[in-house]
A and B are shown apart, each in its own frame.
Chain A
Amino acid sequence: MRRKTGFRILTHDRSTTAGSVLGVVAIVFLVGQQLAIMFGLFTYMSVLVDHSGADIWVLTKDVDEVNSSGSLPVRYVDRIAGLREVEWVEPLILGGGSFRSREGKYQPVQMVGLPRPRLENGPWRFDEGSLQVLLDSEGATVDSLDLKVLGYPGLLEFYEVSGRRIRISAITRNIRGFGGTIIFTNIEKAREVSGLPPGRCSHIILKVRPEAEVSAVASAIRTLLPRTAVLTSPQLAASTRLFYILNTGIGSSFGFSVIIGALVGVVIITLTMYTSVLNHRRDYAVLQAIGARKRDILVVVFWQALIVGLIGVFVGFLFLAGFIAGTRNGQLPTNMPLWFPPLHAAITLVLCLLGSTQAMRKAVKVEPASVFR
């Protein structure tokens, strides 16, 4: 009966209930939206590492993010290849360039140069063309998300990046880095654009044989090449994300937005639940007069908070799903890891209950004797 009473009071006082639900929706949507964008940016930050297919990355000494590596001798590749546990090893060049559009406008791009013929760490989703187009000495890709900023370059047409000629031979789908536009090409073209001298590369990536242990191989390479930074792919992805979170203000910015979103929701819940108790204080007085203990009153308000929370979480996630679906092919990066929705729902319910504590206190403090006034 306590649950039923709580539920009936909610349905009876629809406008106040709608306000409380709105508070929960605000928490779910505002916090969820900010975090989905942040997780989306996380995937951008480490996109090349996450999709490289490599187990270990070798970078210049003291580098802790993927884009900052300087210049490494390509001969290190042969030394690493000498290790029995290594299945394959390839040099890589990541470098900046400036794309010149048809109209003569310039757009900064990140060039990713892959060694032929293996083309490891190449693009993994295509709208037009395939990986093999990069076997062509001038072949390059652009992404469908970047067509607008690059002035809608035509397929198989020639363009310039930092004064070097490339041919747009394929269009990738939704592959973007934290720095913006990524253009995949072969390692020789990337070397021309970035200005790295022959015999040098920016990164070395390698795959470990299935029977070997990645961390053991990484240690072996550290011993072999003491003047390099050797990181496993998960380590490099994590340190790259951490670098951007700490050095770009993105962490504090999203953290602040998340806190504001949660606060707004909690304040709305607190005010509306409190108003609901005020509107029904005579009912709570009656309940106490006819035998409800303080804990029974708490149960009635607790159930109201829980029902409001569950409805709000459901509606909020519907909005959030709509938002994520709407941005799937857009410029705004969004990503929601599988562990996030249940955690977000649980925290939101806890916040909803916290927001209801004032209402609970008020309901318990209603004087039962007030029914006589």
Chain B
Amino acid sequence: MISEIVEQRIKAAESAPPIQLEGIARDFFDGKVLRRVLKKLDLEIFAGELTIIAGPSGSGKTTLLTIMGFLLQPSEGRIFIQGREVTRFSSNRLATLRMQKIGFVFQQSVLVPALTVIDNILLPSAIQGRSVPRAVKARARELLEMLGLRDYVDAMPQQLSLGQQQRVSIVRALINDPPLLLCDEPTSALDAESSAIVLDTLKRLSLEPTRAVVLVTHDPRVFPFADRLVKIEDGAVIYDSRQGRQGVPTS
């Protein structure tokens, strides 16, 4: 009986959107004026899709991504991860949630330069002091091979090109098999060839039915890779291709 309930809950969690934002607002005080950067924004991200959040500089897209990754608390609103509200979680619980549910790919590959490629990749699995299971090590090697980095397992990040470093970041983001991958302009520092490899990889990953990929960019050349395009301007959604309508700022 109990196992049935647990199973039902697991199924419900898996079928719920990986992340759901309800009325999210964020204010910043610049020393003189309180500025509202995000204006009570609602957004649901669905698994099996590559969602691109686009907008000009200062539109609030990176702030939105930061809030989605629990690296910044919203001033207002609620956040749900797989149907479960996490807005009031403590910083420690949010850290664990980040480790388990979210993978990050940053604008520039931010690998720890003191660690080898494999250690960088295993960090999210071991940073809370647990030992790394064999299966995770095997998965790391599998992912490295998949992204053409098999020969760089023990290399230091400085020995890799920027494109290779970014691919290592992707492997690191995937190591705990998170349902949500958040990417902040992952191709902005890369040449055309490396950009294509990275975008192809992200597109392939988004096809998995249990994973959502969110990519923030202001580069329109990336838009063709999107399953869904969300445009943000002045802290509000002005276009969402899934709903096919213009969003209206609520405040």
Contact = CB atoms under 8 A, between A and B. Distances in A.
Interface of A: 1-2, 4-5, 8-9, 11-13, 280, 282-283, 285-296, 299, 367-369, 371-372
B129 A296 contact: yes
Given A1-B132, A289-B104, A372 B114 contact: no
Nearest to B62: A372
A288 B95 CA distance: 7
Instruction: Name the residue in B66, B91, B107 with the highest tally of chain A Cβ atoms < 10 Å from its Cβ.
Output: B66
B98 A5 contact: no
Instruction: Name the residue in A12, A287, A368 with the highest tally of chain B Cβ atoms < 10 Å from its Cβ.
Output: A368
B12 interface: no
Interface in B53-83: 62, 65-66, 69, 71-72
Interface residues of B, number: 33
Interface stretch (B119-127, B188-196, B235-243): B119-127
A287 B92 contact: no
A2 B114 contact: no
A4 B119 contact: yes
A1 B113 contact: no
B71 A289 contact: yes
B129 A290 contact: no
Nearest to B101: A291
Contacts of B184: 372
Contacts of A296: 95, 127-129
Contact of A294 (B62, B91, B110, B132): B91
B110 A5 contact: no
Contacts of B111: 286
A8 B100 CA distance: 25
A13 B114 CA distance: 8
Contact of A283 (B96, B98, B114): B114
Interface in B4-31: none
Interface of B: 62, 65-66, 69, 71-72, 91-92, 95-96, 98-100, 104, 106-107, 110-115, 119, 122-124, 126-129, 132, 172, 184
20 contacts: A2-B126, A2-B129, A5-B115, A5-B123, A9-B112, A11-B114, A13-B114, A283-B112, A286-B112, A287-B123, A287-B127, A289-B69, A290-B98, A290-B104, A291-B99, A291-B127, A293-B95, A296-B129, A367-B71, A371-B71
Nearest to A291: B99
Contact of A5 (B91, B106, B114, B172): B114
Given A283-B112, A369-B71, A369-B72, A289 B98 contact: yes
B26 to A, nearest CB: 11
A208 B18 CA distance: 88
A292 B113 contact: no
A8 B172 contact: no
A202 B71 CA distance: 81
B186 to A, nearest CB: 12
B70 to A, nearest CB: 9
Nearest to B185: A372
A293 B127 CA distance: 8
A291 B71 contact: no
Contacts of A372: 62, 65-66, 71, 106-107, 184
